[in-house]
Structures are given as C-alpha cells and as structure tokens.
Amino acid sequence: MRYVTTVASVLALTAALSAQNPSAAPTFEVASVKRNTGEPGPPVFDGSAFRQSGRLTVMNATVLMLLQVLYRDERPVDIQGGPSWIATDRFDIAAVGEPQSDAEVAPGRTLPRLSAMMKSLLADRFKFRSHIERNDQQGYVLIAVNPRQPGAKLGAAKTECVPQCGTRESGPKGVTGTAMNMDELASALARLPGIGAVVENRTGIEGRYDIRLAVEDTPPVSIPEQGARVIAALEDQLGLALRSQLTTREVLVIDHIERPSHN
C-alpha cells in the first residue's frame, strides 16, 4: 500500500528517524493512547502547552496523519507499506514530558524535542519500524525566480508552529497554508492537478510563511494547461518557479507497526 504525505513536512531521514533508535531519543514521562471510536471529526494536534508544561494533546488522528506531521520538516517523502488501518483507525493521545530545550525555540519553528518524543512513542506503543529508499524519477525542482531576493513575495508566518502548521488546502484552486516551509509547499504543489510529480525544494529559502496561491480552475481545461496555470500563478504570486528535472524521491517504507494496547 502506498501513501503520500500531505504535509508532508527536512532531515535526510537517515539515522533516520529518532524512532529507529528510541533509546537515544527523549520520551514522554506519561502517555495515554486510546482508540477513538466516536463520530469522525477533524484531527487535533495541540502542542501549545508543551513549551511551558510539556503537555501534548492529539485527538481523532490516524497514524498516517501523525507520520505526516512528524516528518513535515523533512524532504517531501512518500509513505509506503503498513496495514490499511493506519489511514483509517483514529487515536487520542494525552502525554506529558519535560520540554527542556524546546522552551527556547523561536515561534514559527518546529519543536524538535516534542517531535522526538512522538517518534519514541510510535516506536514504543505502536512498535513502529521503518527504513528509507530512494528512487530517481522525472519531476520538478522549485526555485526562486529572483535569487537575489528569493522570498520577496512571501508573507512571513503569523502563527506559531506547535505542530498544527503546514498545508491546509491543496487542490484545483491552488494552495492555502499556515506557517508552511518551502519543503511543505513543494509537497503541496506535487499534488496539484497538472503537476502530479515529485517537486524538490531548491529555493534556498528558510523559515515559514503563510501561503496563498490562487489558481484559476474554470473553465475546465486540459491537464497540461492546468499545469501551465499553476506555474504561471506560482511565479506571479509567490516569485517561485518550477523547472522540469530528474529528481530523487525518498520513500519511507513501514517495516512493522501494531495497534497499541489502550492505556
């Protein structure tokens, strides 16, 4: 089974995932993981209290969503393997751990200690194990049109990333995102009609931005024409460009995962 990250979010998944070596990673002092069997609803990832109290609350989230959130700052990556329930079963997580260095992380940035704790939790409670594969394929690279002022048309993020940042909408009408980095934008562009291929971030632009990319989707046009509209809107509105090129795609392959016992 193959899944594609939506937020995808850039760490060369090598040594890879802290979850691969939980003994070397920080862990939550207390963590409750329960299956959510209520009515489906929007997922909640609330780490707003982590800096001060070390608390994290996750509600109504699938394992696939958790992986997409945890690796949103890594190179855009496909997720392959694993049983079908990782995309359907929903879980509630309440956890507390020592925030330590994350208390000093600047607003709008990912909280690395919190992410490491969540990876440890997946390894411990879900018995999650994975490895990385790399495949070459035809795709695009995302670059800045004006390398002297690469982020001139981008609006700096106004929302802190804790950790509900990233893509909010991605479809025929474009991309809308809160506190997105360029890797997340590249991942979102890859899913747009008319693009539908790997997009690798080579903008050199750091930080997070509130993204509003509006693409005309009427009247109906051919797929190539829709792709041309995306590329034109990207340059005009965000000062970025897509160039066709052979790229390397990293694939996160799930080797093992189990449903957790409730506690």
| 125 shares its domain with 160 | no
| 128 shares its domain with 32 | yes
d(CA 169, CA 7): 10
For residue 97, the Cα-to-chain-centroid distance in whole angstroms is 23
What is the count of structural domains for the chain?
2
What confidence tens digit (pLDDT) does each residue in 174-232 have?
A: 998 888 889 889 988 988 889 988 888 999 999 888 899 999 888 878 888 999 999 99
Tell me, yes or no, whether 183 lies in a domain: yes
| 123 shares its domain with 200 | no
| 97 shares its domain with 180 | no
| 214 shares its domain with 110 | no
* Among 3-7, 93-97, 245-249, the least confident range: 3-7
Cα 230 to Cα 41, 45, 78, 174: the distances in Å are 31, 30, 22, 7
| 171 shares its domain with 57 | no
Token digits for 59?
């509600």
Residue 172 β-bridge partners: none
What confidence tens digit (pLDDT) does each residue in 61-93 have?
A: 999 989 887 876 555 467 889 999 999 999 999
For 236, phi then psi, to 5°, come to -70, -45
Q: Is the dihedral of CA 22, 27, 29, 33 positive or negative?
A: negative
Cα 92 to Cα 45, 59, 71, 243, 254: the distances in Å are 10, 4, 19, 41, 21
CA-wise closest residue to 207 among 230, 224, 183: 183
| 125 shares its domain with 145 | no
pTM: 0.58
| 91 shares its domain with 156 | no
Q: What pairing do the DSSP bridges indicate for beta strands 129-144 and 199-201?
A: parallel
| 94 shares its domain with 148 | no
Tell me, yes or no, whether 191 lies in a domain: yes
For 4, phi then psi, to 5°, come to -120, 130
Tell me, yes or no, whether 25 lies in a domain: yes
| 150 shares its domain with 184 | yes
| 127 shares its domain with 144 | no
Residue 34 β-bridge partners: 92
CA-wise closest residue to 75 among 162, 160, 5: 5
Domain that holds residue 152: 136-248
Token digits for 60?
């109504």
CA-wise closest residue to 70 among 158, 5, 3: 5
| 165 shares its domain with 92 | no
Contacts of residue 125, defined as CB under 8 A and 6 or more positions apart, other chains included, come to 31, 33, 260, 261
